[in-house]
Structure 1
Amino acid sequence: MGELRSKAEHTGVIQAGGKVCVVVNTRSRRGRRRYPEVARLLRQEGFEPIRIFPVVDPRRLRATLEEALEAGPDLLVVGGGDGTLSAAVKHVAHRDVALGVLPLGTTNNFVRSLGIPLDLAGAIRVFRTGKVADIDLGVAGDREFANLASFGVSVEVAGTVRHWLKRLLGRAAYPLTALTVLPGHRPFRAFLTVDGRRHELLTHQLNIANGRFHGGWQVAKDISIDNGRLVAYQLGSGKRLRLLVETLVRATTGRWRSLAGGPFVMGREMHLETDPPLAADIDGEVRLMTPITLRTVPNGLRVMVPADFVDS
């Protein structure tokens, strides 16, 4: 959508006090409680927002994002969960606007993938001390995504997990909900074609990641959100117990293997078929079905990141 400024020029404009708009989902787990602090902390760092939008009704989120962008900001600051940030990604992609993200969700996968501090003051400080970067996006069918496309038991978990449980336990609510869903879940067969090679597996859960984190835990110790590749991996196998054990090990230790040594398939484009056909959770939105083709869009999104972020 028009010509983009250089990253250095865009960074300079923002740090010199460029135009800032703020959108906060006050229905998110932490959004309502932390919303009053956002404007105060921005002003403390030298920013004076031209518009601030609290989103009380999530159905108004997309319209609110468009209204904020119509004000012509250099930096669009968005706070909420991964679903809120996913919607923001779709609106900001390919525009001459940098997305500034606030850690106001349960798992904050996108925030973690960018190396942004998980405390609100630290995240806002990045807008003054960090830089503008262009990162890759994933595309599933016709839907862009920043973090993850998932298939299998996690789709049922996302639709089952209770909001009160997320508020109470945070990211631990997801594996606990999986314990109730898994006994009745049937494994599926997946056929993944990458670079002309066809991979077949039987599993309860398949993930295809653009970002570095899933459920608040790192996918692999050397994965990147900006390397031009998607990373596909299964959790467990066709056996429920193996999926349960592997998920609990990851949740309690946070240890993930290297991409070079783990059970990962990587590529710029992947075609996925499943038996039976399955719903796809694309960054929290369940609207597509397999078969589906996924690919990367290099430098599809402009974001504000810490100064030490490796921008390729």
Structure 2
Amino acid sequence: MTLDGKCKALLIVNPKARNGASAQLQEGMATLQEAGIATELFESQSAEQTREFIAERHRELDLVIIGGGDGTISSAAQTLHQYRLPLAVLPLGTANDLARSLGLPEDIEDVFAVIARRQLMPIDLGSVNGHCFFNVANMGLGVQVTEELTPEVKKSWGVLSYLRAFFAALVRVKQFKVRLQVDGRQYKLRSIQLAVGNGRYYGGGNVVDERSRIDDGEFSLYSIKPQSVWEFLTLAPLLREGRQKRAQRVVQLRGKQMELTTRPKRMEIHADGEPIAHTPAKFELLAGALQVVVDPNTFTAHGDGSGKTGSD
């Protein structure tokens, strides 16, 4: 699908994630103007402001371009889906995992060139307790990693901030019990980390499942059994590449609908790096729910992420 004719776009940018990209943004908007895409720039100070502005302007728009990190982009997923507005991703964050899943190029100038070609393809959205997300929702260790990943750590450590936060979280993670239903099948698990992936990448380039794509119509779930720090470290390379099904210490499942409860307490769920819900949780896959601007060649051929996407 292609956006035809003259097109009106809104470019929403998180100023905290711009990383000195002002000149690139102006050049990119000029590129879009030449391609017949009239673009208005809006700097958003919060996720709520982003959602409100899209809602107020949705009747005037043909495309919404969001520049920022995964949390910034994911915060608009629900609103974009509600108003059936196509999305273009401008990766300006630390991890840029959604851009990786879409096979977008690393250079911002090249991303604007992709947007100018106006090629759209449908992707899936995940929903947990009614809240949409793109990449991965998790609980346990993943949430603790996010809590360790402060703005100060991101600024000081850059792409290595995820690794630093991981080791800090690993020493204080606690196990929990899970009652899980996947497409009607029942499971009981003990876990220290449980993740439900809609996209392919999360946490700075980790692969949720080597088979997963953001348009494959299924969730990919994995749960890590309680184990020692040393055992976990030997598992880490498999987790990084999405090959954890090769390890007996990991439970891996796929499905379209998932429901779970946790004991001994309710647990916080983070999606795309942001707190979004608590257990008990109901996950629903919204297949083909959102049109996104992509390069059809890299998205189709490189849904495995071989289209590189950069970081801060």
Verify same fold: TM over 0.5. yes
Alignment size in residue pairs: 294
Q: 2:80 aligns with which of 81, 92, 99?
A: 92
Contact 1:223–1:259, Cα closer than 8 Å, also in 2: no
Equivalent residues in 2 for 1:244-263, closer than 5 Å: 244-247=233-236, 249=237, 254-257=240-243, 263=251
Equivalent residues in 2 for 1:233-252, closer than 5 Å: 233-235=222-224, 237-247=226-236, 249=237
Give the corresponding residue for 2:262.
274
Equivalent residues in 2 for 1:101-250, closer than 5 Å: 101-129=89-117, 131-215=119-203, 216-235=205-224, 237-247=226-236, 249=237
CA RMSD of aligned residues (A): 2.5
Contact 2:66–2:90, Cα closer than 8 Å, also in 1: yes
Contact 1:94–1:301, Cα closer than 8 Å, also in 2: no
Letter in 1 for 2:11: V
| SS across alignment from 2:76 | helix
The structure-2 alpha-carbon separation of the partners of 1:167 and 1:64, relative to structure 1 and needing over 3 Å to count, comes to: farther
| SS across alignment from 2:220 | strand
Structure 2 unmatched runs, 5+ = 302-312
Contact 1:24–1:35, Cα closer than 8 Å, also in 2: no
- Distance in structure 2 (CA, Å) of the matches to 1:236 and 1:117: 36
1:293 aligns with 2:295: no
Aligned-pair identity in percent equals 28
Contact 1:78–1:100, Cα closer than 8 Å, also in 2: yes
1:23 aligns with 2:7: no
Contact 1:81–1:107, Cα closer than 8 Å, also in 2: yes
1:305 aligns with 2:291: no
Shift of 1:154: 1.7
- The superposition leaves residues 32-59 of structure 1 with CA deviations (integer Å, 9 ceiling, x where unpaired) of 4113311312312524534210224566
Shift of 1:287: 3.9
More deviation, 160-169/83-92: 160-169
- Distance in structure 2 (CA, Å) of the matches to 1:255 and 1:105: 21
| SS across alignment from 1:93 | helix
- The superposition leaves residues 264-304 of structure 1 with CA deviations (integer Å, 9 ceiling, x where unpaired) of 20001011121122111123332421111101011211111
Shift of 1:93: 0.8
The structure-2 alpha-carbon separation of the partners of 1:203 and 1:177, relative to structure 1 and needing over 3 Å to count, comes to: same
- Distance in structure 2 (CA, Å) of the matches to 1:259 and 1:131: 35
Contact 1:25–1:58, Cα closer than 8 Å, also in 2: no
Contact 1:236–1:243, Cα closer than 8 Å, also in 2: no
Shift of 1:236: 5.7
Q: Which structure has more RCO (C-alpha within 8 Å, separation ≥ 6)? A: 2
Contact 1:161–1:174, Cα closer than 8 Å, also in 2: yes
Structure 1 unmatched runs, 5+ = 1-7
Q: Which runs of 4+ in 1 moved over 6 A?
A: 258-262
The structure-2 alpha-carbon separation of the partners of 1:228 and 1:259, relative to structure 1 and needing over 3 Å to count, comes to: farther
- Distance in structure 1 (CA, Å) of the matches to 2:199 and 2:238: 17
**TM-score normalised by the chain length of structure 1:** 0.85
Contact 1:137–1:146, Cα closer than 8 Å, also in 2: yes
